[in-house]
Amino acid sequence: MSTQTDLQSQPVEELKAFLRFPSISTQPEHAPDLDSCAEWLREKLSSIGLEAAVHSTPGSPVVVAATPRDPAKRTVLIYGHYDVQPPDPLEGWTTPPFEPRIEEGRIYARGAADNKGQILAHILGVAETLHEKGSLPVNVIFLIEGEEEIGSPNLEEFLREHREELACDLVAISDTAMAPGNKPALTYALRGIAAMELVVRGPARDLHSGLFGGAVANPVTVLSRLIASLHDENGRVRIPGFYDAVRPLEPWERTAASDLENASGGDDAIRELAGVTQLVGEKGFSTIERIGARPTAEVNGIGGGYQGAGTKTVLPKEAFAKLTFRLVADQDPAVILAAAEEYLRSQTPPGVLLEVITGHSGAAYQSDPNSPDGLAARKALAGAFGADPLLLRDGGSIPILATLKEILGVDSYLLGLANPDSRIHSPDENMLIENFLGGIRMNRLLLEALG
């Protein structure tokens, strides 16, 4: 339980300072805020005794900080990100997104649970251990980037250039969530992602919908049909070959999924978190399996035609949609994007032009929760949160995970700290202060268990 003293403690004050930076990576006008946030982190990391630097990239800077490398010790790389999603829609927030507010044991701000609360918990855990013991049981490297929320476009090259400096035995990440009911969980799989934008172009200009309607293909109608053609009536994606590489669930994973369902309130809890009256999805799989272990096609945005007040009788010249596919092992993002484009082109009627713009992508990632490091991670979570962690496959993505494995040759362990009702990417994002403070304890136990 958090006490009043905790809520006013130094760690929480520091978290507030970190949360005041509007470090929105997708909006170019916020580049100076990303720079100053990176500099704030560098100062924080160097003030606790680490060798810290801000490295510029063609995009947002990367912050790296490390203890001196003792060859007799193992090396843990702690990865996280200081960039955040846009706070929109602003009117959904109870108080402004970059003015942190504390209420009933939670801190509200954009980035609180994705990923500033978690990464600061790791920093403060290291700081406490260094302060008390003078050294850590392992070598630690912090790698904190500013472009995770836009698909980490510059991190791969950075990893290649700094692979020696970043050489490590494993990666620890807390940029994921606890299980429903705020139960501790080790996430052993995350979905991958592949982004695509569609533009359907029709007439040379917006037309009068009475004078031309009935004779000219309407791009909004065409796009709507294209989107509708992505799924069949059983919730399956209709793109040929979409499921070919999907790795089936192992028997132990189906057991872990049903343990999770039983321990965490099942579909009712998920319905409640989503604010819906009914859950839908691919037939033949439980909700937990649909979210963590099955690939999907989602529309993230759509536009075209008149959007203002009242009516306007227009036949619009174009329409667009932004799509993302969530992928699982062993789907290849490039193969999926190519198959999607081919399928959508085959569904496009004459009279319009379909433009397909592919965006960022990252493959799905899985690590073994029963490996020695997986067991050490579970021990640290159990010690910090007082219950054996559940094993989770989660639906979100951290696009760099597969690349970390490829370039550094090491596995990532996901010790999520976000409360499931943290509303990440939504208005009123928040983190339970007890999770943040528990994260500091967890870091200390983790480094001990890995040492």
Footprint (CB under 6 A) of ligand BES, residues 367-406? 394, 396-399
151 belongs to the binding site for ligand BES (CB under 6 A): yes
83 binds, among Zn ion, ligand BES, none (CB under 5 to 8 A by kind): none
If the CB atoms of residues 45 and 177 are measured against Zn ion, the closer one turns out to be 177
239 binds, among Zn ion, ligand BES, none (CB under 5 to 8 A by kind): none
Q: 335: buried, middle or exposed (CB in 10 Å: 19+, 13-18, 0-12)?
A: middle
Closest CA to 178 of 414, 447, 19: 414
Pairing relationship of beta strands 75-81 and 62-66 according to DSSP bridges: unpaired
83 belongs to the binding site for ligand BES (CB under 6 A): no
Compose the 162-191 pattern: x for residues touching Zn ion by CB under 5 A, - for all others. Answer: -------------x----------------
If the CB atoms of residues 25 and 348 are measured against ligand BES, the closer one turns out to be 25
222 binds, among Zn ion, ligand BES, none (CB under 5 to 8 A by kind): none
Q: Which residues contact 248 (CB under 8 A, 6 or more apart)?
A: none
Rounded to 10 degrees, the C-alpha dihedral 277/390/432/36 comes to -110
CA distances to 38, 190, 244, 284, 345 from 330, rounded to whole Å, are: 34, 12, 9, 20, 25
Residue in the structure block whose two tokens are 């701000």: 109
Count interface residues toward Zn ion (CB under 5 A).
3
If the CB atoms of residues 77 and 222 are measured against ligand BES, the closer one turns out to be 77
Measured from the CB of residue 432, what is the shortest distance to ligand BES in angstroms? Answer: 14
Single residue of 60, 85, 115, 264 touching Zn ion by CB under 5 A: 115
Compose the 130-149 pattern: x for residues touching ligand BES by CB under 6 A, - for all others. Answer: ------------------xx
If the CB atoms of residues 129 and 296 are measured against ligand BES, the closer one turns out to be 296
CA distances to 12, 95, 163, 247, 248 from 251, rounded to whole Å, are: 42, 46, 37, 12, 9
429 belongs to the binding site for ligand BES (CB under 6 A): no
Strand order in the sheet with 106-108: 101-103, 106-108, 430-432
Measured from the CB of residue 148, what is the shortest distance to Zn ion in angstroms? Answer: 6
Measured from the CB of residue 314, what is the shortest distance to Zn ion in angstroms? Answer: 40
The one-letter amino acid code at 95 reads: T
Cβ(184)–Cβ(384) below 8 Å: yes
Give the residue nearest to ligand BES (CB): 396
What tokens does 25 get? Answer: 């990576």
If the CB atoms of residues 136 and 185 are measured against ligand BES, the closer one turns out to be 185
25 belongs to the binding site for Zn ion (CB under 5 A): no
If the CB atoms of residues 139 and 176 are measured against ligand BES, the closer one turns out to be 176
Compose the 247-266 pattern: x for residues touching ligand BES by CB under 6 A, - for all others. Answer: --------------------
Footprint (CB under 5 A) of Zn ion, residues 85-114? 114
Closest CA to 299 of 201, 231, 227: 227
If the CB atoms of residues 348 and 397 are measured against ligand BES, the closer one turns out to be 397
123 belongs to the binding site for ligand BES (CB under 6 A): no
Measured from the CB of residue 187, what is the shortest distance to ligand BES in angstroms? Answer: 6
114 belongs to the binding site for ligand BES (CB under 6 A): yes
366 binds, among Zn ion, ligand BES, none (CB under 5 to 8 A by kind): none
DSSP H/E element including 341: helix 333-346
Options 51-59, 170-178, 205-213, 269-277: segment touching ligand BES (CB under 6 A): 170-178
193 belongs to the binding site for ligand BES (CB under 6 A): yes
3-state secondary structure of 39: helix
Closest CA to 297 of 194, 400, 176: 194
Measured from the CB of residue 9, what is the shortest distance to ligand BES in angstroms? Answer: 25
Q: Cis ω on the peptide bond leading into residue 330 (within 30° of 0)? A: yes
Report angle CA 403, 73, 78 to the nearest 5 degrees. 35
Q: Cis ω on the peptide bond leading into residue 234 (within 30° of 0)? A: no
Burial code (b: 16+ CB inside 10 Å, e: under 16) for 403-434 equals bbbebbebbbbbbbbbbbbbbbeebbbbbbbb
Identify the DSSP state of 24. B
* Contact residues for ligand BES, defined by CB under 6 A: 114-115, 148-149, 151, 175-177, 190, 193, 360, 394, 396-399, 418, 424
* Contact residues for Zn ion, defined by CB under 5 A: 114-115, 175
